[in-house]
Amino acid sequence: MAREFKQITKASEITENISWQEITTGTEIYEPATSLLVQTGDWRVNKPVMVWDKCKQCLLCYPYCPDSSIPVSKDGKRLDFDYDHCKGCGICAEVCPFDAIEMKKEG
């Protein structure tokens, strides 16, 4: 018996007009960096806040961010958070050895 494979829909093609039959099972996404397509930080409860005078620009927070919400400039300097995509998990604050990131209640 031949097995039928469903065509994988790209995340950028998923809109409010797509039918449920066109979406992959469990709405699994098979491509990287799709969170950049949607503002995913809207439900954040806690917000990371930089304490710039404590930051040593070590960039240890950068690779730990699961949402790629810590931008780095072309000259290798850490910039402020991308709050459109940050979900407030607090991993960055936990890994910062200089206590340069504080978690505050949103709003």
Q: Is the dihedral of CA 12, 37, 35, 17 positive or negative?
A: negative
Question: Rounded to whole angstroms, how far apart are CA atoms 8 and 38?
Answer: 19
Higher pLDDT, 42 or 62: 62
Say whether pLDDT at 51 is over 60. yes
pTM value surpassing 0.85: no
pLDDT band at 96 (very low <50, low <70, confident <90, very high): very high
Classify 39-107 by CATH class: alpha beta
Domain locations in the chain?
Answer: 8-38, 39-107
